[in-house]
Structure 1
Amino acid sequence: MVAETAGHNHASPNSGMMMMMQMYFYADYKAVVLFQGWDIQTVGAMVGSCIGIFLMGILYEGLKYFREYLSSKHYTSVTYNNVKTPGEAGSETSSQVNRTPMSFKTSVTSASHYIQTALHLLQMIISYLLMLIVMTYNVWLFMAVVLGCTVGYFFFGWRKGFLVDITEHCH
């Protein structure tokens, strides 16, 4: 016995049938999200799921900027200042370089690096879960992800520096 709703094939794992995933957007309130147990069958469940996913998008954006904030507190950049000394009225400039001493061993084994690694793991998990939610092709779930990330950027993005994170996984 196979029950089909909204183009989804909810075949039991023992029935020998493959589960079909649709590859187009649909606007039905019935959907299966991430896990077999997260099977949305009512409008209320869809609204609740969208609110949770919306908050997950905000959390994802907040986590990205929190990691950047922590990184800027623990690792300072090299600063170069060209300063003319008073005795050299225009002939030469002396260069003052301020560096934060950091050896490879201490930076890899430091508590801040462990915290950054754990937060990066959490950020990756959330980003891939959001990507998989988008891949359900449900319009409402898609909009929850997009709006959650947009609102999260609105709240946290104004603090972002001018650096580009080349390790970003999803966008």
Structure 2
Amino acid sequence: MLSVLPLLFLPLVAAQHNHGNGMDMSMDGPMDLAAGQMIPYFHFTPGDILWFQGWVPKSAKAMVGACLALFLFGIFERWLACLRAVAEQFWRKQAEIARVNKLNRTNAKLPTSTSCCSPSEPASASDISKITYASSLANMPPFIFEYDTARGVIHVLQMALQFAFMLAAM
């Protein structure tokens, strides 16, 4: 059995030494940049494609306009981040209010007798596990469809803008 084990790794070793995959891996040849690929450096010269083929600043005025547009998009993205932070704070308060209201409704339904958990009678393991479970859920906000949908949409918009800025810088 152990003598067959090296034979299992033989195809992996052969695949590592196969250099005839049709790709020219020499670094001596010139790069072909005319194929519409992105150039991996910061663009500060007119004539580079910004995000799409229609937005190519070719003059100095067009370059200033593109920089101004990117700056305004950046301000919009930061405003969106601020809006998201304020909304998160509001949603956190509303979730806390909803959680407290739910606990108040639950506590109102509990019996008021002192037969359970009196000082002479210790709490059972199930009572302790219920308290532990309730305290672990205290930090988790409840799912509220309107808030979570809006949170997701704002997050998607913010991440799309950040991705677009990354592409503009590259």
Normalising by structure 1, we get a TM-score of 0.49
Structure with higher Rg: it is: 2
More helix by share: 2
More strand by share: 1
Normalising by structure 2, we get a TM-score of 0.49
